[in-house]
Structure 1
């Protein structure tokens, strides 16, 4: 999964000389907490709603401030960007490690071609977990060792049930939690088979699209 397949392509950039009321309207219209600032197609900064509100709290004349302050006075310059051909995990790590809400996406010429926002990663989370598909959610706690996930999926396969999604999470004490979403609402035979094979099932629930 690459950045180019998940970014918002219809990215509206603002100019360093734009005034804040217009920028706020652009954020509201696009539903973003921030926007790239571009000059001649290249990213020179990022402006967020927080940038505007933070400066606004320190001024005595709100109306005058909004009307006369250009974006360049409040934007973060030299912003972090990511190339459109990078993997999506790299984008997530950049945003997490740097505590940023938006990430401008650029091409080989450093021109803005899109934007990634936190909401994009929520959509990915929903898709990866198969949340919109009906079935049963099964959580297991297993030892963190080679072959455990393969063993679990083999047991499910032998029951003739398809796996919608399978994700792992770190757990204390050299263990990991496996969260399966299987394509059946009658999952008792699957659960019984997992337990019969010595696996610890910690939670089962039906899920509905």
Structure 2
């Protein structure tokens, strides 16, 4: 999955000469936490957050003076940490964690802004990759960290009519074992557990299946 698959294309932007009051109003009306700042050719020159604008406006003079004397370029942050559209999604996540930021402008090689990607976009992809919206059985198993183990596991599941619809690996015992979190459809819980436990090298750590939601009346919130 690449950044371009999850980013918001053609985001709302400000210009360096924009009025900070107008920028704050745009954040409030659109629910934006950050707005890219671009020049007349659409090249990214900075970014401004709602908090930046709020702090700036709290110490600013009257609105009339603000509109005459102050511009977004005085508030924006520059240079900006960015990603390219063809960056892996996990690289965008790594940059957000490393720099403790909630979103990244997406720019082309020539510096033109083409999108923005946020933590919410990455969370949504994470949930989708784990099959959160797929009616299936979720299980975590520990297997030896060596070639062929995933293929063996997949074969056992397929042998009882099951299908792995998602898999995520974690290697806490690098070189010794790895934990695999699987979403499996088409197999019953007990049948699946029996098939996996037939292999002494497989340890079932956790099994979970979403229970059907129950509609509740008279609860309007």
TM normalised by structure 2 equals 0.82
RMSD: 2.5
Q: Which runs of 5+ in 1 are unaligned?
A: none
| Corresponding position: 1:98 with 2:74 | no
Aligned to 1:142: 143
Aligned to 1:175: 177
Give the secondary structure class of the aligned counterpart of 1:168.
Answer: strand
CA deviation after TM superposition for structure 1 residue 187, in Å: 2.0
Rounded to whole Å, the distance in 1 between the matches of 2:14 and 2:177 is: 48
Rounded to whole Å, the distance in 2 between the matches of 1:45 and 1:132 is: 37
Rounded to whole Å, the distance in 2 between the matches of 1:203 and 1:79 is: 42
Rounded to whole Å, the distance in 2 between the matches of 1:91 and 1:132 is: 23
Rounded to whole Å, the distance in 1 between the matches of 2:31 and 2:117 is: 12
Give the secondary structure class of the aligned counterpart of 1:145.
Answer: coil
Give the secondary structure class of the aligned counterpart of 1:77.
Answer: coil
The verdict on how the C-alpha distance between 1:39 and 1:130 changes in structure 2, with shifts beyond 3 A counting, is same
Aligned to 1:194: 196
The verdict on how the C-alpha distance between 1:30 and 1:84 changes in structure 2, with shifts beyond 3 A counting, is farther
Aligned to 2:22: 22
Q: Which runs of 5+ in 2 are unaligned?
A: 213-221
Give the secondary structure class of the aligned counterpart of 1:36.
Answer: strand
Rounded to whole Å, the distance in 2 between the matches of 1:54 and 1:195 is: 59
